[in-house]
Structure 1
Amino acid sequence: MLNALQDFASSLPDFLQWFGVMLISAVPFIDSYFGSVVGVLIGLPPAVAIGVAVIGNVLSMLGFVFVASGVRSKVVAGRAAAAGAGASADSLASDRSSSRNEKVRRAFDKYGVAGVSLLGPFVLPSQFTSAAMVSFGANRNAVIAWQIVSIVIWGVAAGVAASLGVALVR
C-alpha cells in the first residue's frame, strides 16, 4: 500500500507533489503519519512533507467532526421533541454504540478526549475516533483541539523517523 501511495504522489508533476501528499493524508487509515512518510520518501523536504500531511489529515478530521456533530444535534433534538418538552436533551442522548465503535467507547470512558486522541491511531484513524467521540457527547471543540495535537505529534514523529531512515540509507 505504501508503494502505491508513493507511486501516486511521485507521479504528479514536481510542483504538485505536495498536494498529492495532502490528498492521501486526508484518507482514513493513512493520516498524517503515513502521509508524512510518503512525502519524505518521494523527496519532499521533511518540513513540507510533514506540514502538508498534517494539513490534509486535519482538514479531513474536521469534516468528520462537523458532520458527526450535526448528526448528533439533530438526533438529540428529535428525541427531545418526541419525548416532550419536559425531558432534557442530554438525558435522551443514547450511549448505544455499534460493535465497530465499542473499543473507542471503552477507551473514551477510560481515558477521555485527550487519551483517545493521543492513543487513537492504535485503534482507528483520527477521522473515525474524532467522529465517534463527538457522537458519544464529547465537546466538539475539545475533540478538535486534541485531535490536532495528536495529528501533529504523530505526523512529526513519523516524518522525522522517515527522514532519519532516508538519511541512513544515503
Structure 2
Amino acid sequence: MSNPYEGLQDFVGQLPDLVQPLVVAALGMIPYVEGEGSAALGILVGINPVVAAIAGAAGNLLSVVIVVLLSSRVRESVVSRRAAGARDSGTATLVAEADEPVATGEAGVADAKPTRRAKGRRRLGQWLVRFGVPGASILAPLALPTQLTAAFFVASGVSKGWVILWQAVAIVLWTGLVAAAALGLVNLLGWV
C-alpha cells in the first residue's frame, strides 16, 4: 500500500530536528488534538515515536497546567466575591454561569436538546462522583478534552495539585496508548 503521508513526511524531514518536536508539542496544546493526536500525527509523518509521544504529552500537559492555574484563580475570585456578598447583604450572591448561551427556537423558548459539550460535562460529573478524580481523569478523554476536564474539576472544588497530578497520569497513559497504536499501524502498513 502506498504511503499517503509521503509528501508530509518529506516536508517534516526538511525541518530542523529541534523544530519537529516543538511542532508536535504545539499541536498537543490544542483541545481535541491533545497529546495523543499530536503524537500519532508526529509518528505518521516520521518523527521518532518516543520523541513524538514525549513532545505531544508535554504540550498537552503544559496547556492543562495553564488552564488549571487560571481556573483556580477564577474560582478563588468567585468564592471570595460570594463570601463578601454574603457578609455585606446577608444573602449569597448569585453568579451566572458563562458556559455558553442558551439556544432558542422560533418562539424564543430554550431548545431542549442538550449540546454535545453539555452531555460531556454531565457524563464527566457522573464519573467524578462515581470514580473520584483518578478514575474520572483517566476516563475523561472519552468525553471531553483534558483542558475542559481540568477546568471542570477545578470549578468543582478539586485542588489544583490533585487535578494536575491525575491529568498528567491520564495524558501520559492515553498518549502512550495511542502512540503505540500509531507506531503499530505505521509498521504494519510499511510507511516507515
**TM-score, structure 1 length as denominator?**
0.84
Identity %: 30
Residues 29, 12 of structure 1: alpha-carbon distance in 2 compared, 3 angstrom cutoff: farther
Confirm whether residue 50 of structure 1 aligns to residue 56 of structure 2.
Answer: no
- Note the C-alpha offset of 1:7: 5.1
SS in 2 for 1:28: coil
Confirm whether residue 149 of structure 1 aligns to residue 152 of structure 2.
Answer: no
SS in 1 for 2:171: helix
SS in 2 for 1:32: helix
What is the correspondence of 1:48-127 to structure 2 with a 5 Å cutoff?
48-84=51-87, 100=118, 101-127=121-147
- Note the C-alpha offset of 1:139: 1.5
Residues 110, 93 of structure 1: alpha-carbon distance in 2 compared, 3 angstrom cutoff: farther
Residues 93, 39 of structure 1: alpha-carbon distance in 2 compared, 3 angstrom cutoff: farther
The answer on whether the counterparts of 2:13 and 2:46 sit within 8 Å (CA) in structure 1 is: no
Unaligned runs of 5+ in 1: none
Residue number in structure 1 paired with 2:34: 31
- The structure with the largest helix share of the pair is 1
- Note the C-alpha offset of 1:33: 0.9
Deviates more, 1:44-53 or 1:96-105: 96-105
- Note the C-alpha offset of 1:92: 8.7
Residues 105, 21 of structure 1: alpha-carbon distance in 2 compared, 3 angstrom cutoff: same
Give the number of aligned pairs: 162
- Note the C-alpha offset of 1:106: 2.1
Greater radius of gyration (CA): 2
- Note the C-alpha offset of 1:93: 10
SS in 2 for 1:84: helix
CA distance in 2, matches of 1:143, 1:122: 17
CA deviations 1:7-61 (Å, max 9, x no partner) are 5983872421211111001100011111110110111111100000010000001
Residue number in structure 1 paired with 2:107: none
Deviates more, 1:68-77 or 1:96-105: 96-105
The answer on whether the counterparts of 1:113 and 1:146 sit within 8 Å (CA) in structure 2 is: yes
- Note the C-alpha offset of 1:102: 2.5
CA deviations 1:107-153 (Å, max 9, x no partner) are 21222111111000000011100110110111211110000000001
The answer on whether the counterparts of 2:38 and 2:52 sit within 8 Å (CA) in structure 1 is: yes
Q: Out of 156, 162, 166, which is 2:182 matched to?
A: 162
Give 2:83's aligned amino acid.
Answer: A
CA distance in 1, matches of 2:154, 2:164: 10
Q: Out of 126, 135, 149, which is 1:129 matched to?
A: 149
Residues 73, 14 of structure 1: alpha-carbon distance in 2 compared, 3 angstrom cutoff: same
